[in-house]
Structures are given as C-alpha cells and as structure tokens.
Structure 1
C-alpha cells in the first residue's frame, strides 16, 4: 500500500475513519470530543463522500440524550449511524445505549474519554466515563495514539456491521484526542472492499418500514426475560474473533500488528504491566529502557476490553510471568479493586493461571501526567516480596498512603528535538505550533508530535505547547520536561513561573517581549 502521510490529532483521525462508514451522525458538542463532530459536519458541507457515495447526514440535537435517541431511531430505520461524545454527555446517552446494545444495532460511538464530575468538576481526561458504560452491552475498543485512533475506528465500524453489535471506540481525552502526530491515512478505496455487504444488506432488510411492518421493543415478563438475556451470549462469544479478523485486515493494509491484547517486551518476562489507552506508549518506552539494563519485563496492551476474551488474554501473557500490575485510569470508590484489575484477576483464574500474583493501581486521573519514572516504580514494586496493592502513582498520598515513591528519569531519544512553548490562551501560540508541527511532519518528513496543555479557562488561560520531532516514531505520551528549546510568548510569565526549569543544558531560550 502506498503510504499517505498526514499530520492529524486523534479526534481528526477517528473522525476520518468514522466518516467513511457513516450515513447519519447525530451530534451534540462536549469537550474534548467536539472536533470529531465538527470535522464530520465540515466534510459533509464540502460534499465529501462516504463509502456509500453519499455525504453524511449530520443532525445536531439539543442535548446528548437527544443525540442518542436519534442514533437509536436512525439505526432502527436501517441507516449506519454514529455519534461522538465524552463525560457527562456519554452519561446522558446510557438509557438509549442499553437499548441499542441489547437490540444488536451496529451503533458506533467515538469517545474522547474524560472525567465525570463528582467531588469536583474537571474537563480533563481519564476513563471514568466509558467505565460507567460497561453494562450497556456495547463492545469497547481502546486506542492509544492518533494512528490507532484512525485504524481502530475503522475496525470498530467494520466489526459493528459484520458482527451486528454496538461499539464504543475510546481514547484518552486531550492526551490522544488533541495530540497531533504524523500518521498514515487509510485509503477509503481499501476500506470499501472490507465491508461485509451481506451483513449490511441483512441490517437494511430488518429496518422499520411501513411496507413490511414488524413488532419490536415489546414488554416481556419473568417467564422469558432471563432466557433472552442469556441467549445473547452467542453473539458476545463470537465477537472477539470478528474484531481480530478486521484487525488482521487492517494489519495487511498497513503492516502493523493489532491484536485484541498486544504483548510487548521480553519473551521471558517475569513482571508484566497490563494497561490500555495512551499510557501504553509510555510503558513500551519504559520496557525498552529496563530490558536494555538486563531486566526481564513486559506489558500487555488491551485493545478489546469488552467483550473481554479470556483465551486471547491468557495467550498474550508469557509462560514465565510471575507477577502482574494492572493499571486503571479511574477510581471506583468503595470497590475492592478497579475494573481492569478485577477483570484480569478473574480472567487469569478462569485460564488456570491463578499462580500469578496480581496487584492493581491507579494513575493519570484528570490527565495527571504519567511518566517513565512512575512506570519504573510500578515494576520495582512488583519485584518486592510483598508488592503493594491498590497503589497510586504520580501523586504523593500523605493521607491514606497509597502512593509508590518514584524518581523522574529522562529516557534517551537520540536525534529527537523537544520544545516547550508558553503562551496565553487565544494569543495564537497553539495555532502557530500546529502549523509548525504540520510543516515539520509533512514537508520535513519527520516523525512529529504536538500536545497542548490547556488551562481550564481555555481562552485567556495558560497554555503550554509540548513539541517533539525526529527520525524515529515518538511514543512519549507525557509532557516535555527536558527541552532543547523553550519559548515564552507572554512576558508577564517571567515573574510568575520558572520558565527555564525544563531547559536542557546548552538549550535555547526565547523571550518574545516588547522590552529593550
């Protein structure tokens, strides 16, 4: 396949693939998912065609509940329908999701995952929102970077059509949704041949139509409800193979290697981390760093979280593994453990691998930065005679003492240039940096990454642009803390912040100011 390089953020990448398979998009904006709907609306207005030769019919509703209801009705009418949401928006969709999931409608939702307001409001990223939806009957597919957001968005749509199953495609709000990278765009013509036309026609035939009326959505009594619920096991049990089939098709097109559970690291690893979404990239970097020092560590990246396939998961764990740390990016208050941890413990028991010691920990709530130093602390914890369970990383918990001690480390990235630019929300710094990183990635032919750390105030607040570029793929899904170049475009920051704290020895500092 001829490589078509583009510079995109995760939202645009997911929307690009979603557009191909979508006939109706029912939307309502919420940070940080809004750009997905905006892109689909823009492309539709400009006449961009989907795989079926038409423009997407975009319907903006007055709430997320309305958008979900529109998805349900549109799917019942036989149209492939998509929505994009986050956080409280996703919570308002849950009632309709139970119906779409239970009725096996090929709904696809793309989620830029974010905190759901509880003790405090936060617009930043963690897995609280999609974890709340585990019982809706939706399959849950997880991406870790803009490239995966594009590729696995396509897998979600293809699997939804062929498996006749509702899908959520989730990635980390801001960290992936707003992170720009140079990636390879899928070709719509390559995707066209992957659509299961027979399954699509069966979906069309079963649509609500006055020409062939049907009766559905009935009330049922205790005599049959339970049996119907258990009868659905057949669908859930067969779906992992469907998803792997389409991952294999995307692998053939791209040369990448997607599995339901991807193992990375030493083949004879004794300590393994299980994780999903953007932290997976940081863990991979740390695995390489530790194994180069003689350790035997590895990691399992979860791509298909629901339905959770015990057999595929067990096959991904090395036979030598003695201890596992499961990292969750959310907190289920009052539970004995977080969701992924509980699933891993159960899956290992069912697979006959109960000999493996498993501990769980929390990281990255509300976009708290997750760094290689913190991941090293997790592996060091696993080496102990009594590894700490229910731990946290990235904070100093001096109240309930859950945290692991860690030291920040700087991983070697030969030939990579990193930059940190300070600006004021709305002053043009972010826009200029997006243009710069696009030029470096597209015209300069470099691997490039741009991440923008926003203040909650957005316009008028503090913005920090974290840019990296070089000749090797960039997997550093954390903030720049050792920069070759630091710039400040707001002179008032000079007396407020330590602007050169993250500047390398011999690095360059630029102050953009009106002073002589």
Structure 2
C-alpha cells in the first residue's frame, strides 16, 4: 500500500472533511463543542471546494437548533443529501424531527461531538448523555474513538445512510476527540466517490417532493393501520450491520486499517475484558498493551455500531476464554438498573451457556479524566472475588461509596521515546493558538506522530489554560492529560504561587518560566517548593522575559510567538533553522489578514 497523504487536524475537522464529500445541504446552528465542524464546511463552501457530486455545499445557518432540524428535514424531502452538526441540548431540540426523519427513511447524517446535559448543573464538557437520549429515534448510532476514526467512520456513516435509507448519528467525545489534534491519514474524495451507491442516490432524489409527481406524505393514521406500518420498517433495519461492515471493509482496503462493528484488542486468551466506546477505548488499549507485554492477559471490546445493536457480531468478537466483563458507560441514567451499554451487553448474553460475570460502571462524565490508572482500577475490581457493580472511576464518591480503590502503582504506558510537554498559560495570551500552530508544524513537517489537547475551563479568556503536547516515532493513543512531562513551560509567573507546576515533570526534564524578574528577584520570588522540586528532579531551568520583549515590539500581552520560538529552541524536535522558517510561515497564515506590520512584529519576536 502506498504512503497516504497526512495532515494534522482535530476531530471536528476530520468529521467535517468526511461530511463535506457527501453533503448537498448543511443546516447549522452553533453549539460548543461542535461549532467548528460547521465553520469548516462553511469556509470550504465559500472557497469553492467541490463535494463528490461536483458542487459546493449549500450552508444555511438557522436561528435555533430546532430550526436547523426543521430545515434539514425539509431539505431531505426535497431530495438533497443533508447534514448537521450539533451537541448537548442542541441535539435534544432536534429529537422530534429525528423521529420523522428516521420514520420517513431519509438518509440524513448528524455529526455529534457528544457532550453532557444540564442536570444538577450545566457542563459544556464531554460525555455521552446527549446521544443516549436519542436511542429510540430510529437513527443508526456509530461511535468514533479518535481523530482518525472521525474521518474514516464519518465517511462510513454517509455511505451507510445512502445505501440503507436510514439516518445515522455519528458521535465522538466532545473536547476529548473533537478538539484533540492528531496527525491522520486523509481519505481522498475521488476514492470515496467510487464507494457511493449512485443508484441509491438517484432513487433518493427521484423520491423527492415535486409538483410534477405528486405524492401523499405526512399523514395521520388510526389504530387500524399505524401498528402495522410502524413494524414494516423492520426490514430496513435488519441489513444495517452487514451493510456497515461492507463499507468498513471497503475503507479497510483503502487504508490498511481493520474496522469492525466491534473491534477486539488484547490477548486471545483473556479472561477479563472491558467493553466501552468513545475516546476511553484508546486509553484502555494503550494500558492493556503495556500490561500484556509484561505477562498479563487483558482485553478490550471497542464498540462502533451501537444502534442497531448486533448481538451476533458482538459475541463473535469476544474470545471464548472470557469469564469476567466490565462494561464502561460515559453517561448516567438515575433510577435505571444500569447504563445503556451495560444493559445491552447483559441482554446479549441472556440465556447463553457459560455466561461471564458482567458488571457495569461509569466514567468520564463532564470530561472527567479517564487515565491508565483508572483502567487498572477497573481490572483490579473485576478480578476481585466479589467485584463492585455500578461503580465509578476518576472521582472520590464519599456519599454513596461507589468509587473504586485507587490504583497507586506508578507506570507510564506511552511508547518509549514519546516526548510529552505541558504549557501553562492565561486564557487570551495566545498560548493555546501558538501550541496549535506548533503541533501542526511538527506534524506536517516531520515524520513524527503528534497529539495535542488543550484544557481550559468555561471562563476561557482570563482563566488558566494547560496545553498537552506529545510527539514521537510511534502512534500516540493517549487521550488523557500528561502526568509525566519532559518539558514544562509556565507563561504566567503568578502560577508559581498557585499551582504545583512541577509535579508532573520527569527527572532530568526542562522547565521554562516566563517572568520579569532578574536573577536576584528570581531568588526571592520563586517559592521554595519549586526550587526543591527543580533540585530533586535534576531539572534544567530556563527563564525568559517574554513580556518585556513583547512590549518593546508592540505586541502588548501577546507573548505566544516568543514562547513558541523558545520551545522549539529547547525541545530540539527539529533544527532551529527549520523551526524558525516554519514559524514565520505560520505567522503569515495566522496574522496575514492583519497587515505587514503585525507580521513584522511577530517575525521580530521569533
């Protein structure tokens, strides 16, 4: 197989790229964290990018999510392949239309950066509470676990919708996947065009509402026929698993990857496995690979096709040796006997011989970190004589005592040679945008794999931001915050008294501090605990007065380019000469619209 074109992007961009190929009309209304999907599609359409049908996508921004869903429904009835992008309460406002779209066999695709719902409090962060509220609508539900899958499975979502006439909800974790940047392989539009069932497209377009071929739709039905016509839809759902696997096989042929409805990873003789879906699967996979290399026999079943749930395909994927299963859900249904995926797995084994012990638990609500240590907490509990059911990981539940015992043995499952960097910034100081630029420079101009994730609270501007960057020679599958850093930079000196900046620094790592203090003032201002940790960790310590440099150059508080240049000098990820050249090219891309003076100031900063 020839080497494919690669590009560094986040999950939203990957899903948007896939959707653009198959979309005639996109009805949109922005909601965090899905907004940039629609922004990318709008930007490409304005630039004249053509879809596989040779047209620009028509983008219509409505005044609410309900309006977007209504416009989408009408567009589908008019014979246009239609798409939307949403999350959280925005998705819930579309549910009435979703029932109609599915019931009328209209091949819509919703790309959802899954997000929590407001309950005891509002949270803009990620989990599966929103998508789990749509299980009864009749939509196919397809889960992606990482940025590469957002492109690959996002394409499969459209291909399957066109072929089966059943709409698809393609979802991935909000922020954790939607905003995580990775270097991924690109599917070309001419490749995807060859996979489309054009006869199905023609039938769909010919079935549109048209005054030249009148048809009766949207009727009301009485008890004599409604039940029969509702059941008649069964024959459209039964082929879905095989159709989706067919398209997965076609994408596998193009890419060399191995997508299945249920992907099993780990030991072929595992007795204890975890079943999950979403970004947590990468954390679980990385952890079990680490422990299996050291003599363990763990496994993971990664769920992609959640609706319709294919018991046959799930059971075929699980090794016969399995005796204990922990099912992880990223949602909570108060009052239920268990969360949705857990209940589906239990039901799949009902009445089977030698049924494994099956327990369920919750993780990651509101983007709560899910770490390799949490994975081992699940396996440790699973192997106990009487494992806790209905458990939680990642929190300390001192009210109902459902949380598992912490796994406190230190280990780092990242591939050897992976470089991990953390940057502490202030919202609006340019740190996040600079690190996005840095990871794209490294990803698009070296052979290294890259990953970047940006943690900030809902205040954004003025709040603390923490950028997590990893790069290395092996594939990176670590969707959790860095806890073993080779390089840490603090862009705001006030943080030395507020946060434990060096807790995650490796022995022999490097610490870069931006501050206005001279050597004598530094001795006085730097807290003793930081001095002690620098000594204990045998760290290299660097100081830069980026504030003064920015002020002299007229950049105000925008210290980002200065700190980015310092990072490239200290990290040695590429030659200083190459990094300076690429940084200056990035300046033109980022600030070209603001005029030559701004470009010159940033170049001077570098």
TM range (shorter): over 0.9
CA contact (8 A) 1:410 1:482 kept: no
For 1:388, the equivalent position in structure 2 comes to: 388
Single out whichever of 469-478 and 287-296 deviates more from structure 2. 287-296
| Pair 1:9 & 2:20 matched | no
Q: Larger Cα Rg: Structure 1 or Structure 2? A: 2
**Residue pairs, 1:149-168, within 5 angstroms:** 149-168=150-169
From the two aligned structures, give the one with the greater helix fraction.
2
SS at match of 1:500: coil
Single out whichever of 80-89 and 399-408 deviates more from structure 2. 399-408
SS at match of 2:343: helix
**Residue pairs, 1:7-406, within 5 angstroms:** 7-349=8-350, 352-353=352-353, 355-406=355-406
User: Shift of the alpha carbon at 1:46?
Assistant: 0.5
Are the structure 2 counterparts of residues 354 and 82 from structure 1 closer, same or farther at C-alpha, using a change threshold of 3 Å? farther
Q: CA separation in 2, counterparts of 1:5 and 1:292?
A: 30
SS at match of 1:468: strand
User: Shift of the alpha carbon at 1:163?
Assistant: 0.8
SS at match of 1:20: helix
Q: Quick one: higher RCO (CA 8 Å, sep 6+), 1 or 2?
A: 1
Q: Deviations over 1:450-497 (max 9, x none)?
A: 000011111221110000000000001100011000001111111111
SS at match of 2:477: coil
Q: CA separation in 2, counterparts of 1:369 and 1:462?
A: 17
Q: CA separation in 1, counterparts of 2:396 and 2:132?
A: 25
Which residue among 489, 492, 495 is the counterpart of 2:491? Answer: 489
Q: CA separation in 2, counterparts of 1:332 and 1:223?
A: 35
Q: Cα RMSD over matched residues?
A: 0.9
Q: Deviations over 1:354-382 (max 9, x none)?
A: 62110000000000000011101111111
**TM-score, with length taken from structure 2:** 0.84
| Pair 1:460 & 2:462 matched | yes
| Pair 1:422 & 2:433 matched | no
User: Shift of the alpha carbon at 1:292?
Assistant: 2.1
Q: CA separation in 2, counterparts of 1:206 and 1:353?
A: 47
User: Shift of the alpha carbon at 1:225?
Assistant: 1.4
Aligned length: 515
**TM-score, with length taken from structure 1:** 0.99
Return 5+ residue gaps in structure 1 as ranges. none
| Pair 1:407 & 2:417 matched | no
User: Shift of the alpha carbon at 1:353?
Assistant: 4.9
User: Shift of the alpha carbon at 1:2?
Assistant: 4.2
Q: CA separation in 2, counterparts of 1:325 and 1:498?
A: 34
Flag as ranges the 4+ runs of structure 1 deviating above 3 A: none
Are the structure 2 counterparts of residues 360 and 353 from structure 1 closer, same or farther at C-alpha, using a change threshold of 3 Å? farther
